[in-house]
Amino acid sequence: MSTSQLPSHYRAVRQRLMDGRTPSLRPRQGGGARRAETVYTLGFVHGLVLAMILGANDLEPSRPPAPLQLDAILDAACRFYGACPIDVKSQRKTAKVVMVRQIAIYLMCKLTRKTLLAIGEFVGGRDHTTVLHARRKIASRIAIDSNLAGEIELLEQILVANHRVDPSAGG
């Protein structure tokens, strides 16, 4: 994707980063203070990550990328959504932690050839049926929420750009 194909706010974030300035952050209107705070944080992270990727794609890789591991997927999802990997692996059930955990599980299933059992063990010793539930839940939310679909697609692009992915993985 070229810079000219980006929405204007992403171009602005990228340009501000390239100029060495901090992106200006303005919460969207409506939805109350909590909603504005979430959009404020996610919008910043989303734009910042996209800008960093587009800048990184201009560079020639000096060595082949490492194979994609479960911890890389978990770390990327946590950084993207501002969560702590320890919380995601814990028994916490707050909405934010559950969402990040389910997205990470969805991407682990899609981008690796690990078994449901191995993924469940990695994400806090969960059962394979919990992994199935998370994968199905995110797949159904992607079908109805284009914002979530875009965020997950961006996360997937980040992971694929920085790691070697087995072409037979997915599911």
Domains annotated for the chain, with CATH where assigned, are 1-59 (no CATH), 65-171 (1.10.1750.10)
CB 100 within 8 A of CB 81: yes
Instruction: Please give the mean pLDDT across all residues of the chain.
Output: 75
Q: Which tokens is 157 given?
A: 């692009």
Confidence band, pLDDT 50/70/90 cuts, at residue 66: low
Tokens representing 52? 């960093």
- Torsion sign (Cα): 14, 17, 21, 22: positive
Which tops the pLDDT comparison, 79 or 166? 79
The answer on pLDDT for 1 being more than 60 is no
Per-residue pLDDT, 163: 73
Which comes out higher in pLDDT, residue 130 or 21?
Answer: 130
* Digit-coded pLDDT (tens) for 51-62: 555 554 444 445
Band (pLDDT 50/70/90 cuts) for residue 114 is very high
Tokens coding 65 = 């990328």
41: left (phi over 0), alpha (psi -120 to 50) or beta: alpha
* 133-164 residue pLDDT tens: 999 999 999 999 999 999 999 999 888 887 77
pLDDT of 68 = 80
